[in-house]
Amino acid sequence: VQQVTDERTCMQFSIRRPKLPSSETHPEESLYRRLDVSAWLSHLNELGQVEEEYKMRQAIFFGGIDVSIRGEVWPFLLRYYSHESTSEEREALRAQKRKEYSEIQQKRLSMTPEERTAFWRNVQFTVDKDVVRTDRSNQFFRGEDNPNVESMRRILLNYAVYNPAIGYSQGMSDLVAPILAEVLDESDTFWCFVGLMQNTIFVSSPRDEDMERQLLYLRELLRLTHPRFYQHLVSLGEDGLQMLFCHRWLLLCFKREFPEAEALRIWEACWAHYQVSGARAAPKYDYHLVPGLWGR
């Protein structure tokens, strides 16, 4: 912090991101390279089935996925495709799911006037406001009358029809946009999003019980890894342990707290569901808690 004297006194803050010392990283951290095309193909047998799934998830957890193959690998991580499926079976599944998606959309378009009015009030009004301001700096969604924005809109509206118990909550557009930008196909993206919602804890509001569950995980992580900071929060009483400063982290899965490339790297590491334990810096730190922020 540097004090600057001008006509008025102000404080100038600069933020520096410290490099994490090797003593605080997992011993396996540098043993795996990013999953690229050649590494991905090495996991596929002649039928297109994924072999050594555990090793693949391990590589993704530590090294991430090359951007060029995210659209091919993410559907596996999001459980749209099973690792045991063959290339032929996946094509058949895509055709079946495309038909189901079309039927869901037709159901939405065939609503009665009364149903359409209620749907607009409860879902569509918010979706229409959100999609036009989601990831517009991304080339994929940039510009007026961008068909990809309309595709994202349809996915979210159709999801609300598919799962009326959840419907639509602000933040969902931030989750589906990166998937669409990588997977590209509207139907495939929809079913990947369904997998994401089924297999992760989505927080629909700051008062949601799922938010409290995620805060519980986060408090435990802080207690194990940053005990002094945790005790500081405890000393503040109930207000401190509510951790209001991190609600947006959880609501949007860290998407606005990091540059997009880093946020997506965090996402796919969590989706890999590779669980490790025994970091050198914190032998009692259980890495099972990390996917817990996402997984059910």
Predicted TM-score (pTM) of this structure: 0.83
Nearest CA among 193, 171, 151, 142 for reference residue 253: 171
Nearest CA among 104, 287, 223, 48 for reference residue 96: 104
pLDDT of res. 33: 86
pLDDT of res. 288: 41
pLDDT of res. 283: 40
Q: Which domains does the chain have, with CATH numbers?
A: 87-199 (1.10.8.270), 209-292 (no CATH)
pLDDT of res. 279: 41
Pairing of strands 282-286, 277-279: antiparallel
**One pLDDT digit (tens) per residue for the chain, 296 residues:** 444 455 555 555 555 556 667 766 777 777 788 999 999 999 999 999 999 999 999 999 999 999 999 999 999 999 999 999 999 999 999 999 999 999 999 999 999 999 999 999 999 999 999 999 999 999 999 999 999 999 999 999 999 999 999 999 888 999 999 999 999 999 999 999 999 998 876 665 656 777 888 888 899 989 998 999 999 999 998 889 989 888 888 888 888 889 999 999 999 998 998 875 444 434 444 444 444 445 55
Task: Show Cβ contacts of residue 183 under 8 Å, excluding neighbours closer than 6 positions.
Answer: 71, 74, 75, 189, 192
Task: Show Cβ contacts of residue 223 under 8 Å, excluding neighbours closer than 6 positions.
Answer: 230
211, 248 in Cβ contact below 8 A?
no
